[in-house]
C-alpha cells in the first residue's frame, strides 16, 4: 500500500471516531447524541442505577474539582437539576474547557452508584450556550 493509501485509511478512521464522514458531513456524531433522547430527572437516577441503564440528564454544574482515581487524574463535576445532583467524572482529564460552575450541561452515559451516590463516568456531554441556561 502506498503512503497516500495508508494516510487516507488512517484519516478515514479518525473521521469515523469523530463521528463524521470523510467528506466532513455529520455522521453518528457522539457529541450530538445527548440532545436526541429525553432527559431523566437526576432524582430518579439513583433508583434506576441497579440495572446500570444509560441515562440522559441535564442540569447546572455546581462544583468542579480535580481528583485522583486509582492513581490517575480525573475531573469531577457536580451536576444539579433541582431534584438531586450527581457526579460526572472524566477519567484521565485534569480540565475540560467550558466545564465550570454555573454552566448548563446535558450528559448521557451508563449510570453507576459509587459510595451511595449516582455517578456518570466518561459521559457524552454537551455544554449549553451561555444565555440559554
Same domain, 66 and 92: yes
Please state, in angstroms and rounded to a whole number, the distance separating the CA atoms of residues 7 and 37.
Answer: 36
Of 84, 87, 133, which Cα lies nearest the Cα of 109? Answer: 87
Q: Is residue 29 pLDDT above 70, yes or no?
A: no
The model's pTM: 0.68
3-state helix, strand, coil in the chain (%, to 5): 25, 40, 35
Q: Domain of 81?
A: 37-127
pLDDT tens figures, 38-87: 888 988 876 766 677 889 999 999 999 999 988 999 999 999 999 999 99
Of 74, 80, 85, which Cα lies nearest the Cα of 122? Answer: 74
Domain assignment of residue 41, yes or no: yes
In the chain, how many domains are there?
A: 2
Domain assignment of residue 133, yes or no: no
Which residue has 500500500 as its cell numbers? 1
Same domain, 49 and 83: yes
Q: The CATH number of the domain where 51 resides is what?
A: 2.40.50.140
Amino acid at each position: 500500500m502506498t503512503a497516500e493509501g495508508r494516510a487516507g485509511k488512517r484519516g478515514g478512521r479518525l473521521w469515523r471516531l469523530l463521528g463524521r464522514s470523510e467528506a466532513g458531513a455529520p455522521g453518528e456524531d457522539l457529541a450530538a447524541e445527548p440532545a436526541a433522547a429525553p432527559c431523566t430527572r437526576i432524582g430518579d437516577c439513583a433508583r434506576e442505577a441497579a440495572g446500570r441503564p444509560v441515562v440522559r440528564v441535564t442540569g447546572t454544574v455546581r462544583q468542579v474539582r480535580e481528583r485522583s482515581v486509582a492513581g490517575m487524574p480525573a475531573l469531577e463535576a457536580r451536576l444539579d437539576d433541582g431534584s438531586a445532583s450527581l457526579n460526572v467524572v472524566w477519567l484521565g482529564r485534569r480540565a475540560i474547557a467550558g466545564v465550570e460552575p454555573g454552566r448548563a450541561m446535558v450528559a448521557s452515559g451508563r449510570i453507576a452508584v459509587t459510595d451511595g451516590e449516582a455517578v456518570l463516568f466518561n459521559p457524552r456531554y454537551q455544554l449549553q450556550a451561555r444565555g440559554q441556561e
